[in-house]
Amino acid sequence: MTHTSVVDDVAVIAKRWNNTRGSLIMALHDLQSRHGYVPRESAMKLAKYMDVPLARIYEVLTFYNYFKLKPPGKHVVSVCMGTACYLKGAPGIYHDITKHLGIKSGETTPNGEFHLQIVRCIGCCGLAPVVTINEQLLAKMNPHDAVEHICQIKEGAEK
């Protein structure tokens, strides 16, 4: 990703939202969906184009869990910790994954391959406990199978 493309993206997004009152969060959603996170240089550009102090942008970014300030790893592993998943063994699944990957929630493996996060209820409680790896949802999981899925991705990458 070149620097110029970042600048252009932000200009388009700012133009889209500039005339709508209270649209800062929507503009940040657009930025994040384009980059997977909100890069600092994009936030700085947005501050300029939308005429909002940078501090206000970071005030919002750091308040909401959904926004990421660092690039996530190549594969995002999310362990659902909603009540239904929690009761049905999500803590055990989380424990085994942290042991296997050597990282905790919110961290990325040193090689940038995996990002691990705990999420609050993705609304699939009937299939609890659930884990998602990128877009793929794994239903009715157990610690062994969850780690197995991660191993498969690792092997796929090595081949």
Partner 1 sequence: MPRFTAQELDAHRAKVTQLLDKPSIKVGMSTCGVAAGAVLAFDTLVEEAKSKSANILISRTGCAGMCSMEPLVEVCIPGQPAAMYGNVDAELARRIINEHVLSSQPIVERLVPSIEALAVAYDKSDTPTPPGASGPRQYRIVLRNCGVIDPESIDEYIAREGYQALQKALSGMTSEQIIEELKVSGLRGRGGAGFPTWHKWQLTRDAQGDEHYIICNGDEGDPGAYMDRSVLEGDPHSIIEGMIIGGYVIGARQGVFYIRAEYPLAVQRIEKAIRQARAAGLLGKNILGTEFSFDLEIRLGAGAFVCGEETALIASVEGKRGTPRPRPPFPSVKGLWNMPTMINNVETLANIAPILVRGGKWFGSIGIGKSTGTKVFAVTGKIKNSGLVEIPMGTTLREVVNGICGGIASGRRVKAVQTGGPSGGLIPEQHLDTPVSYEHLQALGSIMGSGGMIVMDDTDSVVELSRFYLGFCVDESCGKCAPCRIGGTQILRTLNRIADLKGTERDIATVRRIAHAMQKASLCGLGQTAPNPILSALRYFEPEFMERIAAAKTARKEPGIARK
Amino acid at 137: L
- If one asks whether residue 66 binds partner 1 (CB under 8 A), the answer comes out as yes
Q: Of 97 and 131, which has the nearer Cβ to partner 1?
A: 131
Among 6, 11, 103, 124, binds partner 1 (CB under 8 A): 124
3-state SS string for 50-72: HCCCHHHHHHHHHHCCCCCCCCC
Among 49, 67, 94, 114, binds partner 1 (CB under 8 A): 67
Q: In what order do the strands lie in the sheet with 75-80?
A: 107-108, 114-119, 75-80, 131-133, 136-138
What are the tokens at 152?
A: 């498969």
- If one asks whether residue 65 binds partner 1 (CB under 8 A), the answer comes out as yes
Q: Considering the complex, what minimum distance in angstroms separates the CB of residue 2 from partner 1?
A: 28
- If one asks whether residue 24 binds partner 1 (CB under 8 A), the answer comes out as yes
